[in-house]
Structure 1
Amino acid sequence: MSVDIPNQGYSAVTPSPESKPLVPKWAIIVGIVVSLLLLVGSIVLVVWLAGSYPNQIEAIRDIFIIVFAAAACSTIIVLLLLLVAVIRLINMLEFEIKPILEKTNETMSMVQGTTTFVSTNVVKPAITASSYFAGIRRGLKVLIGDARRNLPD
């Protein structure tokens, strides 16, 4: 038994073979060349400035060292705060959510026991009695027949 679903104008998505790339190849090559030229130019500029103005370059170097040290300290502080947040999350999972899950598991086992008890002691006898009565009624109907049809007109 198969069910035919009508096609409502939908088709599988297939990429077209002549689709254009998002960025042309020449733009990527130009970007790489410009980046390399800027890198080489900045290295040459720093070397020239170091030879021409050594005192100013040392001051700029010291400022960069201070900025990078401050960034490292702030990164360490942020990582410590993140560590504290993770520790609090683990504690919450262990001491708050775990007991809730254990209580839920206990409740589910009680519900399972209750349904087993009700199925065994209530539903099964009711179904058995109903099937006996249906069998007796059908048997009497077969033996005696339909009471309304047996009466003379």
Structure 2
Amino acid sequence: MKLTVYLSGEIHTDWRADIARGVADAGLDVELTGPNTNHGASDDCGDQILGAEEKAFWKDHKAAKINALRTRKLIADADIVVVRFGDQYKQWNAAFDAGYAAALGKSLIVQHDPALTHPLKEVDAAAMAVCETPLQVVEILRYINRDN
């Protein structure tokens, strides 16, 4: 069964690559999608496409809306949304993506360190699974892809 999985969340570790390797190694029929993980390109897309802004607010506003076009489309097309929260930064965008996916009725997998369980309890409550590692995400995808 072909699955489309949107990978949302922090961009400071290689967790997406770990999942991609695991999916490939397991031979799973899974298409992985996700946000623009090039932080500079994501922040500058509004200025680059629609023209430069003098005020940071408007620069961020334009970039956020253009990035939201991508995010909304890919989450809407996904069968499963995986949201990873890192411990280095607060990922407000990841929490927003989790809420958006839940509002659309998407199957949600959340991944984070156990130390974040309390602050993420509401997000975890909306998830079908809460994982600690990318390998656990891959194992769930493997289970879903099983023939029997």
- TM-score, structure 1 as length reference: 0.18
Higher relative contact order (CA 8 A, sep 6+): 2
Counting helix residues as a fraction of each chain, which structure ranks higher? Answer: 1
Q: Which has the larger radius of gyration?
A: 1
Counting strand residues as a fraction of each chain, which structure ranks higher? Answer: 2
